[in-house]
Structure 1
């Protein structure tokens, strides 16, 4: 993907003014590449002023969806509506969206001010107004003092802030961001998260943000859309998805790394695993004999020396500041991920216990 400006298409033609105020509807959105369905029919409503994160692993369709919204990819089915008006046949520049990509896509020979103001020049905004809007955008990203420098004289984080300023200076109804922090180091990513959220709240535009990083999505978004296989698996608030994933693929992506197959033993929540029996309230509503997949996060699956629980053998262990985390093999060979309060040795036998309040039970063995 090669986007030179937030306000022009690949053809370089001038942007029109925004065509709406920011309420976006995706209706049975489809995009195929030959026989491969990158988007298999997704429906989503994004309200004006919302911050939406499209989250999922590589190949799930999130960037394809963003490119279709931007107009960089034509649809093979479905509709896109902005404030009730169909826009999926409009050229990218006529949609008036702001775009921020991971590659920054700044003009290396132009000063920061000229980069930020490029879209305004394409729109024919009078010079005095353009200068005022450039100042305001640079103030918002805290780069007014860097306006006369070239992009190559700035750090990666500063260049990304320039790209954001360029996207918002045209006052778009929607800002589209495709993994904008993936080229930055961990410290800068944390700093930029807070800045992006603050900028979103300051300008009031709708923001659609693509990421494969669940921490980014949780910290930034009003709602998260988890995608897999070209489909939307779940839409909800960060708390909804973190605490109550409704699909095993969503749970896996939200950090529920341990998956153990079992069968409901009775109506009181007993579940028989190959490595032993556990009691889980979430299983009590299922019929005895139902095949299930039990899933939990490493921080909620504790390994100790001795006591009651499942027996496993430590395969790997590492220290992460306040606790030890590792993996172990149960007696049937299933690999699980755990937390421990102290150091353990590879090959050591340990007892592993689920936290019933934070353990999910999905119908279906290996769901």
Structure 2
């Protein structure tokens, strides 16, 4: 399969410098600094309203900046119209032309660039092959499944040989099985075409499975940038930990600190956790742990009362409450009755402790 991007444009660094975007008194982007290396797959991860889609639209040129600048290959591009930036864009809603067949949808950007005839046909055929839709070329979008329509949107984005492909939650309208399939397809296409990809999502699994680096955003700012492994294992704060699956947060007090490990008193129970940030004995702190790593066990641990249980194939997962009312998500080898008293203990090395207020 021929590459669908040119080597020169596909190997340019994209720089966001102090990016700002305000809507009246609301700062949707509050000073974003990010350097994206040529050919990287970057995921912008965060909750609704955190600024990730605003950042993507600013990069695309669909929203003007309030402050800062965007540079591609050292040249400033934030004052260029969207079509002059030459980026490919994949929307959540597909945004296909319903009256055009697949071939014409894919070739629309080429026609706008004045590329027609044999060159256009060759590029369209290459792009359809990339997304495995050669046999669907004459169909209308309404005759395709959701996954096929999204593949058409991807082919249309990459056929113009963009230096950067921008994707705004492209899988959110698909069912769970299709989302899994499309993750692998999108990453595979990225690897083949060589363009930089910036992918917006609120789904940590998508970000972890596809990205070279993840940018976690909150309230218009960047919280942490790192590889999937770095963010999964070593989140910098509770906001990032939450997006890396650390659902259970429990207030406690630091009893002792030895190197990177601390012992905490939580509701009269003692637990050990890996230190994130500066803490000292006597400090109030927050324990953060994933549900699969907080286990119902007899003996010493966090006292809790079971509220509900559900079976997930290999184990039971439950919701319990600590004496102060804190909700605790945990794993168990057996179903526990509602109202049962239990103790919950993090598996060794799985829990983190942050010396900051509980969010």
Give the deviation of 1:277 after TM superposition: 2.6
TM-score by length of 1: 0.92
- 1:272 shift after superposition: 1.8
2:16 equivalent in structure 1: 26
- Partner of 2:256: helix, strand, or coil? coil
- Residue 272 of structure 2 corresponds to 279
1:353 pairs, out of 337, 345, 359, with 345
Offset, 1:311:
1.4
1:296 match: 289
- Contact kept in structure 1, 2:98 and 2:142, CA below 8 Å: yes
Tell me the equivalent position of 1:111.
101
Which of 40, 46, 51 aligns to 2:30? It is 40
Q: How far off is 1:326 after superposition? A: 1.2
Alignment root-mean-square deviation, CA: 1.6
Deviations 1:106-152 (A, max 9, x none): 11111110010011111111311000000000000000111011111
- Displacement of 1:274 in angstroms is 2.8
For residues 282-330 of structure 1, give each alpha carbon's deviation from its aligned partner in whole angstroms, at most 9, with x where no partner exists: 38973211221110000110013x3221211011211111111111111
Contact 1:49 1:207 in 2 (8 A): yes
- 2:57 counterpart of 1:64: no
CA deviation after TM superposition for structure 1 residue 344, in Å: 1.4
What is the DSSP-based 3-state SS (H/G/I as helix, E as strand, rest coil) of the residue aligned with 2:129?
Answer: helix
- 1:266 touches 1:284 (CA, 8 Å); kept in 2? no
Moved more, 318-327 or 76-85: 318-327
Contact 2:106 2:124 in 1 (8 A): yes
Greater shift in the superposed pair: 226-235 or 259-268: 259-268
> 1:216 is matched with which residue?
206
State the aligned residue count: 349
Residues 274 and 351, structure 2, Cα contact 8 Å, conserved in 1: no
**Distance in 1 between residues matched to 2:293 and 2:280, nearest whole Å:** 26
**Shift, 1:216, TM fit:** 0.4
C-alpha spacing 1:284/1:92, structure 2 compared with 1 (3 Å):
closer
Deviates more, 1:224-233 or 1:331-340: 331-340
SS across alignment from 2:43: strand
Rounded Cα–Cα distance in structure 1 between residues aligned with 2:231 and 2:315: 25
Report the CA distance between 1:238 and its aligned residue. 0.4
Deviations 1:200-251 (A, max 9, x none): 0000000000000000000010000000010000000000111100011000
| 1:14-56 deviations in Å (ceiling 9; x for gaps) | xxxx977431100000000000000011100000000000000
1:336 maps to 2:323: no
Which residue pairs with 1:318 in the alignment?
Answer: 310
Secondary structure at 1:60 match in 2? coil
| Runs of 5+ consecutive residues of structure 2 not aligned to the other structure | 1-7
Structure 1 window deviating more from structure 2 (344-353 vs 99-108): it is 344-353
The answer for the alignment partner of 1:99 in structure 2 is 89
Residue aligned with 1:148, SS: coil
Query: How do 1:5-16 residues align onto structure 2 when only pairs under 5 Å count?
Result: none
Distance in 1 between the 2:307 and 2:172 partners?
31
Q: What is the CA–CA distance in structure 2 between the aligned matches of 1:274 and 1:93, rounded to whole Å?
A: 59
Q: What is the TM-score of this pair, normalised by structure 2?
A: 0.94
